[in-house]
Structure 1
């Protein structure tokens, strides 16, 4: 979140503001970071609530803030189909693997244990499945012989900071098409990238 906030403040992600930071856990690090950055932050507890009931509370808060784009990071709950339908192609998630490989928890550990030579991160639109949906941006890193799970995770995190801001910019500028589940750059975007 710090990298996104920095890129919004610097104008690298233009015409954007972070309207609110929401967590379902009071001990979430993102709440403290948001408060230090002077961002509005709120905890909407999920414990003991049905998934859709909690999602309705979150959606109401987002709608009160006139949120156009929902960016998830470290939010460890699967969203209800109802919630996903409220924000079609407006919910982004970042995952520390090159999806569709290694979805779910402990993705870096899974990649390391599997012996992959390349790992990375994925920013994608959220759909009703876990770590699934059209991919917007992926960044890769080599898995070095000297790596352990922690050094690999640290290098992936560096790429996550870059990838998430890139994906947000692409989506906010609307310079993409979704064709058979794939994100493709619009013609206007392709011309800009060539310059």
Structure 2
């Protein structure tokens, strides 16, 4: 994730607007993406999951000349991902990178820290759809990315799609936050 967010920084223009919802996935964005201009970050306060994608659509509606990218966790995106229909209907060409680790990461991290052991975690595992097929079902572009080295090409394809686009970025729940792993939390 750190390399993907650094690539995002290196490839986007300085006035690009980057949005996100709430979750551990956002920690990589905030740590490894450097905003280079004012009014380029839209992010929630107080843990508002699902904020990033509608915010991206709104930002692109207000600033159609600027590139807009949303970084969303899988659980985060599932809260408002149906707004892909709005983006397609109105031709609002934003890109969303869905960071899919198959879990509500922040909740899982706190369960692991406060109640160690896999048998003590509950209601955090997600059964996700195929997000590429989900995007295509709405008439958007979708691309799956399973390896860090494939992220630049996947992001470029999404940016050049000419329609709303989704990058399905597969990650591991083991890497629960920057510099934190589930194994490490369990060993403390």
Tell me which interval the TM-score lies in, with the shorter structure as reference length: 0.3 to 0.5
Question: Larger RCO: Structure 1 or Structure 2 (Cα < 8 Å, ≥ 6 residues apart)?
Answer: 2
Structure exhibiting the larger radius of gyration computed from Cα positions: 1
Could you state the TM-score of these two structures normalised by the residue count of structure 1? 0.42
Could you state the TM-score of these two structures normalised by the residue count of structure 2? 0.43
